[in-house]
Amino acid sequence: MTAETVSKISGVEMAAKQLGISLADVAAIGDGDNDADMLAGCGLGISLANGTDMAKAASTHVVGSCDDAGFAQAIQMILEKRI
């Protein structure tokens, strides 16, 4: 890979391949424009409420903000299989 082809989604793709799982089985959490491809490319894309419009649009779910423990909410939802 070259620097131009490295991104968060390419890293997730490499990890999923190593684990023998599909991107459809991956959950990603992000809040910035640089997370949008990853959020859209995974089976479950979760953005924080204080995230950028691009990140939220790319996500399948939006949880609370960083100040409202949004990351913890996302993890809890995943573990409890509520989403």
Q: Has this prediction a pTM greater than 0.85?
A: yes
Task: Measure the CA–CA gap between 41 and 16, rounded to whole angstroms.
Answer: 12
Quick: pLDDT tens for 15-43.
Answer: 999 999 999 999 999 999 999 999 999 99
Quick: pLDDT tens for 56-83.
Answer: 999 999 999 999 999 999 999 899 886 6
Task: Count how many domains the chain has.
Answer: 1
Instruction: Provide the residue range defining the domain that includes 19.
Output: 3-79
Beta carbons of 8 and 35 less than 8 angstroms apart: yes
CATH value at residue 55: 3.40.50.1000
Structure token pair of residue 5: 């082809």
Beta carbons of 30 and 11 less than 8 angstroms apart: no
Task: Measure the CA–CA gap between 23 and 9, rounded to whole angstroms.
Answer: 10
